Amino acid sequence: MGKKFSKVTTSHWGAFNVFVENDKIIDTEPFHADPAPPNISQLVPNAVHHSKRVDQPYVRKSWLKKNTTNARGNDEYVPLSWEDAIDLASSELIRVKNDFGNEAIFGGSYGWASAGRFHHSQSQLHRFLNSIGGYVSSYASYSTGAAQAIIPHVLGLNFHKVTWGEINSWRLIEKHTDNLIIFGGINPKNSQVSMGGSTEHDVSNHFKNFKQLRKNMISISPQQDDSPKETNWLPIIPGTDMALMLAIAYVFETEELANQMFLNTHSSGYQLFKKYFLGEDGHSAKTPEWASQETGIDASTIRDLARSMASGRTLICVSWSLQRARYGEHPFWMACVLAAMLGQIGLPGGGVGFGYGAIGNVGKTAQRMQGPLFEQGQNPISDFIPVSRIADMLLNPGGPYNFNGEKRIYPDIKLVYWCGGNPFHHHQDLNRLNNAWQHPETIIVNEPWWTATAQRADIVFPATTQFERSDIGWAKGDPYIFYMPQMIPPVGLAKNDYDIFTALSKKLNCEEKFTENQSSEEWIEGIYDKFYKQARSQGINVADFETLKEKNFERMSIDQDEEDYVPFKAFRDDPLKNPLGTPSGKIEIYSEKIAKFNYPEIPGHPIFNKPCLDRKFPLRLLSPQPHDKLHSQLQVAAEEISKHAILVMNPQDARKRGISEGDLIKIWNSRGSCLATLRPQETIIPGVISLATGAWFSPAEDGLDISGNPNVLTADTGTSDLGQGSAAHNIEVEVEKYQGN
């Protein structure tokens, strides 16, 4: 009999205690130092020991028999020994490499997987594939694809550097900001997760403080609960934030509220751009009256909003959700323009900020440091695709596409290796992806659970969860460092990714290159020792490896006591000496470089593209992050609490359709259909519905997704030829009470 014990571990949603008895996780409880711990960890015991765990290696029966009758997702699986499974997978990798080259291998490790820094699935897979000659990679993320393309053109910086570096801290906002203007919301439930974890969840507390300080906080969103209750809600029709921003610019200019001196010295192209919103270039003037027709906001309210923004120190906050829609590059560009017009970029508490509330640790006051890292090595293959264009790639090998000024060609992929992610959760138009997924010759997956992706693979390796191995946990901006001890033995015959790739590398004659003759324990100690030395060189006192193992975790002294870093201050103080990385060295309100791309939907300056929706489907769908889990992780346990996803709808729309609280309803459009349980709420405007992501794709024989994944409804199209990001929001649908079984 195993002894009962408790240890602390961390995750992408934060730290928590884990209780183990007889080699089984029996309970969890919140970490003592977390002021607002999420409840996600409650799902861990059930999920880790769930019947949907992959218990041993498997191969798809039809693939094994070279039978193409049964498609992926509609087939049986044959159990294999580890030796046979490794032989099959290595033989396929060798065959594809020899017959087609490494350009025919796609390393599709997009996903969050474990918070551990060594057992980081993406790093493990990419290092292995680099060891055998490389792979076709992906660029950017589903969360910020459009932003990652546009912000370097406008501000001359990598978008993530803006998010994590050139951003006002919560403390600066508390000290200096008068007006917090929030486009798309700042939702505390989203900030409960972060890559690697957020240990002290405190976004809600900041807004309580802001309320006591009588700050003017306006949340502009179709949903009231997109921001804390302390904010004032300004409802807006989805997809029209750009129209509102242009009208605000119109008021700034026509009422002489714009800072012309800052625009002249720190920006480029304003005189050309203002002809567009003033209606001097043949377009209609972007007046508040014009914007009112698009946004549903009264013209007088728009004028009052603009005047209040110009009346004090204003921070324009933009949610990542705004760029996850068709033409999503424009509101991010335009937010920078408005901040430039106010002339407060480089002042404490002013300017523009991206990602507050989108993810944890954004806005934290902490000394920046390089965390423990498992190096991926160099990829000899230069070819890549924008991350959300995977179905396009598989359906159109050799087909042309535009991306950020380049004319590119989709590669012809023969083998997909996926590790640490679930594209059949987060990709758009899952029925289209399901079709595209039939095209590769071989798909290999490392996965702890029988997700929809695992159920569509040819070879499935059972992977351990973070509780079945040891690791180091740390996240950017977080003061805690964790030794994540192994809690239980591997479930079934599961192995960690490192051991799987080590076994494969032996067969492919690259074991030494992949492993450097080190065990996983030696790697963990080695990458921590490098982190330890770097931290000490920065004057940060951290425990050595053996001490950390004994202590389990440590809070490092990286809080900044001095006046916080003010983003873009050096540029503001002297734009000639400290130019931005744009062609002009300034904020590019008009970009000649983008104009030369000749993309109709995104010319040389921000514009409003009116959403084009199918009138047969009168409701607009939003698909936010779930509150009860991280993306689709732990869904096997969550679905036992609630079998169907929850659809939020305004009571007015529910009454029109004769449906009420708790009804099982069908949501559909031309791309697919799914089920959900109805929850009428006044917190969402009429004509708009909200269905959170997170459900595992579970189509019935007729294609109806039973669990309620909104991505059976979303459009698999890029935000624009510039960013090619995912355009999941503002999708046309209809709903009705479900009459089937």
Q: How far apart are CA 110 and CA 101, in angstroms?
A: 22
Nearest to residue 391, comparing CAs of 431, 442, 444? 431
Please report, as a single letter, which amino acid is at residue 7: K
List the structure tokens of 420. Answer: 């640490």
Among candidate residues 63, 77, 112, 528, the one labeled active-site is: 112
Among candidate residues 110, 450, 474, 696, the one labeled active-site is: 110
H or E element, residue 381 = none
Q: How far apart are CA 511 and CA 501, in angstroms?
A: 9
219 phi, psi to nearest 5 deg? -105, 115
Determine whether 112 is an active site residue. Answer: yes
208 phi, psi to nearest 5 deg? -65, -40
Do 505 and 128 form a contact (C-beta atoms < 8 A)? yes
CA distances from 434 to 32, 388, 393, 430, 544 (A): 44, 14, 13, 6, 48
According to DSSP, residue 190 is labeled G
CB atoms within 10 A of CB 140: 23
Q: How far apart are CA 318 and CA 313, in angstroms?
A: 17
For the chain, the residue count is 741
Under DSSP, is residue 382 helix (H, G, I), strand (E, B) or coil?
coil
Q: How far apart are CA 308 and CA 483, in angstroms?
A: 49
Q: CB-based contacts of 209: which residues, under 8 Å, 6+ apart?
A: 174
Q: CB-based contacts of 599: which residues, under 8 Å, 6+ apart?
A: 402, 720, 721, 722
Do 268 and 589 form a contact (C-beta atoms < 8 A)? yes
Q: Taking the mean position of all CA atoms in its chain, how far away is CA 608?
A: 25
Residues annotated as part of the active site: 110, 112
